[in-house]
Amino acid sequence: MSFLIPAAFAQEAAPAAGPAGTGFEWVFLVGFLVIFYLMIWRPQAKRAKEHKNLIGGLQKGDEVVTSGGIVGKVVKVADDFVVIEVSDTVELKFQKAAIAASLPKGTLKAI
């Protein structure tokens, strides 16, 4: 059967790329890391810092919006929880992390 299938011989190996061939890959890697930092890491860190400052600065009387879209006035602030008054007789307890934004004073009177 060997007369129907010719024998395969390996070609000689190509010369290995020297140090000049690896520099271009490093440029792509560094460029990718710079783009990743500028477009993803830095804006996310900035948002996290702003949210941490918002949570740390909550006090009684602030008007806030929760991540679920509920608007109310802060009645009580504890270590991990905030009590929000959404109407005259309804108070809801939320985790501080659920506060998405602080509203300007007087916003609830307009609603």
Q: Which two tokens stand for residue 65?
A: 């919006």
- 81: pLDDT confidence band, cut at 50, 70 and 90? very high
pLDDT at site 44: 94
Helix/strand/coil for 13: coil
Whether 108 contacts 63, CB under 8 Å:
yes
Q: Is residue 57 over pLDDT 80?
A: yes
pLDDT of 111 reads 63
Q: Which residue has the higher pLDDT, 109 or 14?
A: 109
Instruction: Name the residue among 74, 65, 111, 67 with its Cα closest to residue 93.
Output: 74
Mean pLDDT to the nearest integer, 62-82:
95
Do the bridges between strand 81-85 and strand 91-95 make them parallel or antiparallel, or are there none, so unpaired?
A: antiparallel
pTM comes to 0.67
Does position 97 have pLDDT exceeding 80, yes or no? yes
* 8 compared with 80, residue with greater pLDDT: 80
pLDDT digits (tens, 9 = 90+) for 19-54: 555 678 889 999 999 999 999 999 999 999 999 999
Q: How far apart are CA 51 and CA 101, in angstroms?
A: 8
- pLDDT grade for 67, boundaries at 50, 70 and 90: very high
